[in-house]
Copies of this chain bind each other. A is one copy, B any other.
Amino acid sequence: MKSSTVSLRKQHTEATLLLHCPDRTGIVATLSRFISDNRGNIISIDQHSEDEDRAEEGGFFIRLCWRLDNFRLNHEQIVSELRKMGKKFQWNFDLHYSHEPHHVAVFVSREAHCLYDLLHSQAMGELQGEIRLIVSNHAHLRSVAEHFSVPFFMIPVEAKKKKEAEDIQRELLTSYDIHLIVLAKYMQILSPHFVKNWKNQIINVHHSFLPAFVGPKPYHQARARGVKVIGATSHYVTEDLDQGPIIAQSVTHVSHRDGVKELIRKGRDLERHVLSSAVRAHLDHRILTQRNRTVVFEA
């Protein structure tokens, strides 16, 4: 099955701005005036602000999307203007364009369910991005990659040679111009050094409802504790294992009837759902991260 070329949902070219700063008066007015004064047409605006009493950090988060058809500024000019305005508001921002969809690398080991789901999603035109390569420490899923016509690289990770493996991975990521790494049941732990260079650009799926059952064999843990609900979590990878900012969580009811095997089967369903949801949110540029928490605007 040929992986279709990315089908962009929108016919017009659009810019998406993700911006974060301390909360204060005039941010929306400043930004919307900037866009309309330059003949942009705002398509959508999502905004979130946190009161100080809610969370010590506080803060203002916005996602602004506008049409570029008659916009008077080019990329450099937009960035330069946003920087100028940003001095007053102390904001950080990212800028994305609908005609420059992100490039994705999927890392896998032996389990195929998340990989099938992502590749089929892409084939259906559901992803605002392009899966450009698949990396695995096993040959096991090569045929899946071939079936969807996506390049597959087998890079074994030996016990004491992780650095060598990561060097090869890094080269591949560079040469394929990758923006996002998706760990779709990749059963290896990436080194802190590797992770540091991909801040908020590596999405993992953890097979439990974090923060319950961190560590290995969560379904065995869940069975032993006799829980009546299990879950799965997608999150950005940080240097602290299983501690990164949570993007999405899914849960399902279980009972005494569900042995470990059944929990694993139900968990597979949760895992692919929660990973696919996180990947779509990231590729749609709907996620802002502050410290260890995410703001995920609705699709």
Contacts and interface: CB of A to CB of B under 8 A. Distances in A.
Nearest to A29: B36
B256 A228 contact: no
A47 B46 CA distance: 7
Contacts of A226: 245-246, 292-294
Contact of A25 (B41, B209, B225, B269): B41
Nearest to A259: B54
B55 A42 contact: no
Given A36-B25, A227-B246, A144 B1 contact: yes
A230 to B, nearest CB: 10
Q: Is the interface of A mostly helix, strand, loop or mixed?
A: mixed
B261 A269 contact: no
Contact of A35 (B29, B123, B224): B29
Contacts of A89: none
Category for how many chain A residues contact B:
35 or more
Contact of A257 (B55, B144, B298): B298
B228 A54 contact: no
Given A33-B32, A251-B229, A51 B292 contact: no
A25 B71 CA distance: 12
Nearest to A258: B299
Interface stretch (A112-120, A130-138, A158-166, A169-177): A112-120
Given A25-B36, A29-B36, A143-B147, A1 B112 contact: yes
A43 B25 CA distance: 9
A223 B55 contact: yes
Contacts of A27: 42
Interface string A111-155: 011001000100110100000000000000001100100000000
A65 to B, nearest CB: 10
A265 B124 contact: yes
Interface stretch (A99-107, A180-188, A197-205, A210-218): A210-218
A299 B246 contact: no
A273 interface: yes
A9 B261 contact: yes
Contact of A299 (B43, B48, B257, B260): B257
Interface string A252-280: 01011111111001001100010000000
Given A124-B268, A229-B251, 7 more contacts: A29-B32, A46-B46, A54-B259, A55-B223, A113-B120, A256-B293, A258-B299
